[in-house]
């Protein structure tokens, strides 16, 4: 698994520092609000677990599973809801916790989805942001690290469902996926 990584982009320590910064800011901004941390499975599982440790105000957590990449490195453009929230979103301050924003398809779909739900507010916190790849603009309130147009894995992020258990964010060698994609 390690042999498939070209370069480490974020070490576990750097990820923790980002989670602390964002968690501290969220704790200030959401004081007195009805905060719901909404983890988008599967990719955001590690960032959610790290971020919530640094949120010091009352909040509830929930999960949705959405998917659009299948087994490739390009978004299919079709976002499927695999699992919905289990708590009501009405009147709540929803903070969507994402691992990465790439084309913007996933979050643009999510913002549209919440429009009909009468939430008090909907915002986005992401560990990674690839602005150069954006196809749909999404407003991002908390952004950890901007990265170039590189396919990254680890700390929850996958290629064809693998590599999620790496404890850091690494760039996947092109040779791993170039044989199977155009």
Ligand X SMILES: O=P(O)(O)OC[C@H]1O[C@H](OP(=O)(O)OP(=O)(O)O)[C@H](O)[C@@H]1O
Query: Would you name the residues annotated as active-site residues?
Result: 102
Neighbours of 42 (CB within 10 A): 18
Token reading at 104: 């913007």
Q: Rounded to a whole number, what is the distance in angstroms from the first to the last CA of the chain? A: 23
Segment interacting with ligand HPA (CB under 6 A) among 17-25, 54-62, 118-126, 145-153: 145-153
Rounded (5°) CA angle 103-132-29 = 75
Residue 131, SS3 per DSSP = helix
Nearer to ligand X, 50 or 98 (CB): 98
Sketch the per residue contact string, 50 through 69, with Mg ion: x for CB under 5 A, - otherwise.
-------------------x
By CB under 5 A, name the one of 50, 119, 158, 170 that touches Mg ion: 158
By CB under 6 A, name the one of 69, 109, 142, 155 that touches ligand HPA: 69
C-alpha–C-alpha distance, residues 43 and 14, integer Å? 18
Number of residues forming the site for ligand X (CB under 6 A): 17
Note the residues at the interface with ligand HPA (CB under 6 A). 69, 100, 102, 151-153, 157-158
């Amino acid at each position: 698994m390690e042999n498939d990584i070209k370069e480490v982009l974020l070490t576990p320590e750097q990820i923790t520092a980002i989670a602390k910064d964002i968690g501290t800011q969220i704790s200030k901004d959401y004081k007195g609000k009805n905060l719901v941390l909404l983890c988008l499975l599967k990719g955001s599982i590690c960032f959610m677990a790290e971020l919530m440790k640094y949120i010091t105000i009352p909040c509830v957590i929930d999960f949705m599973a959405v998917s659009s990449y299948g087994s490739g490195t390009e978004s299919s453009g079709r976002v499927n809801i695999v699992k919905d929230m289990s708590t009501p979103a009405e009147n709540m301050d929803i903070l969507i916790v994402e691992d990465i924003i790439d084309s913007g398809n996933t979050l643009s779909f999510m913002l549209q989805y919440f429009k009909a739900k009468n939430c008090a507010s909907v915002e986005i916190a992401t560990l990674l942001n690839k602005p150069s790849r954006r196809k749909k603009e999404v407003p991002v309130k908390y952004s950890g690290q901007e990265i170039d147009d590189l396919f990254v894995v680890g700390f929850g992020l996958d290629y064809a469902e693998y590599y999620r258990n790496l404890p850091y964010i690494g760039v996947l060698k092109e040779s791993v996926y170039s044989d199977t994609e155009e």
